[in-house]
Amino acid sequence: MESVMPFLRENIESNGVVGAVEAAPLLWGTDVSDFGAPVDAVLMADVAYTDAYAELAATLASESHVLAKSTVFQTLLKFARGTGAYREEGR
């Protein structure tokens, strides 16, 4: 996960939103209380490779005090390898 963070930060800079947008990795099962202020958005991609997805959902749900009521979850999941079929879900 750390290997993609430089690219994400570069995208933030390229879009001129430094200071307004922050990016941080979230490992499954991590205590997110250190994130501080309520989180406005959680972006996830290809997170459902195994049953460990349940642990990620539990991490987010158990630390709901960190998430704002208006927190947006956006996922992009590839659910059929090689078919190009994607499903987007959000809250």
Task: Count how many domains the chain has.
Answer: 1
* Structural domain boundaries, residue 14: 2-90
The mean pLDDT of 22-49, rounded to a whole number, is 71
pLDDT of residue 80: 45
Residue type, 18: V
First vs last C-alpha separation in the chain: 24
Band of the pLDDT at 26, cuts 50, 70, 90? confident
pLDDT for 46-82, tens place per residue?
555 556 566 766 666 665 556 666 665 555 444 444 5
The answer to whether 67 touches 58, Cβ cutoff 8 Å, is: no
pLDDT of residue 16: 92
The answer to whether 49 touches 78, Cβ cutoff 8 Å, is: no
The mean pLDDT of 27-54, rounded to a whole number, is 68
